[in-house]
Amino acid sequence: MNLILKDVNLFNPFSNIDQKKVSVLLKDGTISKIGNIDSKEFENAEIFELDGKYVVPGFMDMHVHLREPGREDEETIITGSNAAANGGFTEIACMPNTSPAIDSAEIINFIKKHSKKHLVNVYPIAAASMGRNGEVLSPIAELFEAGVVGLSDDGVAIKTASLLRKVLEYSKMYGLPIIEHCEDETLADGAMNEGINSTQLGLPPLPSVSEDLIVSRDILMAEYTGGKIHIAHISTKKSVQLVKEAKQNGINITAEVTPHHFTLTDDSLKSYDTNYKMNPPLRTEEDVNAVIEGLKDGTIDCIVSDHAPHSIEEKEEEFQYAPNGIIGLETMIGLSLSELYHKKILSLKEIVEKLSINPRKILKISVPQFSVGELANFTIIDLDSVWTVDISKFKSKSRNTPFDKKLLNGQSVGVVNNKQMFIDGAFVNI
């Protein structure tokens, strides 16, 4: 099928493309022509009038919990991938805290089988230790061969310094990054950030130093072993500073942040609404400002959703007992554009780097070049669309988000990948 994306702004900082109001001809999902398209082609093609909308390399969310296998009532590989397409992503990396954990080639094959025909590419992150128990190395070589792009004990930091050393050294042979949930487990028995709010709300505190301790440990170990550390969902001012210094010292380290950690503070907890309960917890305004500064100065490489689906009944438990996490695939682009692009914190180039280029670089996935003959991998964004988040329109199976009814500025209007297009809420083969 021939398809024309008409009058788009084609923007790809990775291959230095910045063309205004051009048309792109796709034949069978492959880029056939950019620029002056013969009027004859228009007769035989499906035409999408995209007057001034941006076409950028498909966005990637490298921190998604798909819940399958184990909790298919909350999300499946397919529903999570649908949510990703609806949110504006062509690639996601799925985290290993499933049940059983992603720690064998069989489970990788299971994930690949279920995601094979989808528009969205799913890249598995595997557990660094068997069962994420922090004791025995997972079969890293075999996992790499099966297609794993990173390792993480997800939900917890790698338990001991001695295991972390082995994981960093062993994974170095395959260039796999170690994605760390930085939290000292001996300080992890709280329900919200420690501060005046936790004191006033009577909720057991999670001190920010628990994150900082593991960030420090991991930086030192990355330096010592020459391995590659990626700090998951960074949330404290101190941790941002530590990563910044580590980068200045040439240590192999990268970091990501979630939209909730650059938009919300622990003031939101005053309602005891469990949709504000996540780990790392929402921090203070000072931390939010530091994270935003880190995005600006390049300390933080990418934005991720930490999409964590939970059932309604689990989130309706008492605050202290409710599970951590919120879904984020379908709000992340809107929140990033509203809070970072429109507030002039990041340029569009930086947005595309942090949402598309950098996550691929970290996980060693090739970045779309927008060259003729290449499989089209696009996200189409409308920078100026003003829209209201409506959870009833989500493709995710879960509904746990604090952003329902929020007014946002800018969104994805469609994605193209694997010879499919997702537009107007539906998938089309192209």
Partner 1 sequence: MPLSSRHLLGLQAVPKDDIQLILETANTFREVLERPIKKVPTLQGKTIVNLFYENSTRTRISFELAEKRLSSDTINFSHSASSVKKGESLKDTIRNIEAMKIDMIIIRHSAAGTPLYLTKICSANIINAGDGIHEHPTQALLDMYSLKERFGKLEGLKVCIVGDVAHSRVALSNIYGLKTMGAIVSVCGPSTMIPKYIEKLGVSVTYDIDEAIRENDVLNVLRIQLERKAGGYFPSLREYAKYFGITRERLDNNKDITILHPGPINRGVEISSEVADGNNQIILHQVTNGVAIRMAVLYLLGTLN
Q: Annotated active-site positions, please?
A: 306
**Nearest-approach distance from CB 236 to partner 1, in angstroms:** 15
Task: For partner 1, give the closer residue by CB, 136 or 196.
Answer: 196
Task: For partner 1, give the closer residue by CB, 368 or 402.
Answer: 402
For partner 1, the binding residue among 44, 318, 392, 426 (CB under 8 A) is 318
Q: How far does Cα 121 stand from its chain's mean position?
A: 13
**Nearest-approach distance from CB 323 to partner 1, in angstroms:** 11
For residue 289, the surrounding DSSP H or E stretch is: helix 285-297
Task: For partner 1, give the closer residue by CB, 94 or 203.
Answer: 203
Residue 415 near residue 58 (C-beta atoms within 8 A)? yes
**Nearest-approach distance from CB 73 to partner 1, in angstroms:** 16
Task: Tell me which stretch binds partner 1 (CB under 8 A): 133-141, 200-208, 215-223, 352-360.
Answer: 200-208
Task: Tell me which stretch binds partner 1 (CB under 8 A): 105-113, 165-173, 195-203, 343-351.
Answer: 195-203
Cis peptide before 124 (omega within 30 of 0): no
Per CB under 8 A, contacts with partner 1 among 224-283 are 271-272
Is residue 186 a contact point for partner 1 (CB under 8 A)?
no
**Nearest-approach distance from CB 212 to partner 1, in angstroms:** 15
For residue 311, the surrounding DSSP H or E stretch is: none
In angstroms, rounded to a whole number, what is the distance separating the alpha carbons of residues 309 and 220? 33
Give the contacts of 37 (CB within 8 A, at least 6 positions apart). 4, 23, 25
For partner 1, the binding residue among 201, 365, 383, 423 (CB under 8 A) is 201
- Measured N-to-C along each axis, helices 285-297 and 237-248 cross at an angle, to the nearest 10 degrees, of 20
Question: Smallest Cα–Cα separation from 183: which of 146, 216, 222, 224?
Answer: 216
Is residue 203 a contact point for partner 1 (CB under 8 A)?
yes
For partner 1, the binding residue among 136, 141, 196, 386 (CB under 8 A) is 196
3-state secondary structure of 57: strand
Task: For partner 1, give the closer residue by CB, 318 or 424.
Answer: 318
Residue 102 near residue 124 (C-beta atoms within 8 A)? yes
Task: For partner 1, give the closer residue by CB, 42 or 272.
Answer: 272
**DSSP characters over 172-227:** HTTTPPEEE----GGG---SEESSHHHHHHTPPEE-THHHHHHHHHHHHHHHHH--
Task: Tell me which stretch binds partner 1 (CB under 8 A): 17-25, 124-132, 241-249, 312-320.
Answer: 312-320
Task: Tell me which stretch binds partner 1 (CB under 8 A): 46-54, 237-245, 293-301, 318-326.
Answer: 318-326
Task: For partner 1, give the closer residue by CB, 271 or 347.
Answer: 271
Task: Tell me which stretch binds partner 1 (CB under 8 A): 21-29, 119-127, 189-197, 244-252.
Answer: 189-197
Is residue 202 a contact point for partner 1 (CB under 8 A)?
yes
Task: For partner 1, give the closer residue by CB, 44 or 186.
Answer: 186
- SS3 for 76-134 is CHHHHHHHHHHHCEEEEEECCCCCCCCCCHHHHHHHHHHHCCCCCEEEEEECCEHHHCC
**Nearest-approach distance from CB 314 to partner 1, in angstroms:** 10
For partner 1, the binding residue among 204, 226, 298, 425 (CB under 8 A) is 204
**Nearest-approach distance from CB 193 to partner 1, in angstroms:** 11
3-state secondary structure of 341: helix
In angstroms, rounded to a whole number, what is the distance separating the alpha carbons of residues 394 and 91? 18
Is residue 185 a contact point for partner 1 (CB under 8 A)?
no
**Nearest-approach distance from CB 213 to partner 1, in angstroms:** 16
- Measured N-to-C along each axis, helices 161-172 and 209-225 cross at an angle, to the nearest 10 degrees, of 40
3-state secondary structure of 16: coil
Which residues are near partner 1 by CB under 8 A?
Answer: 194-196, 199-204, 271-272, 313, 316-321
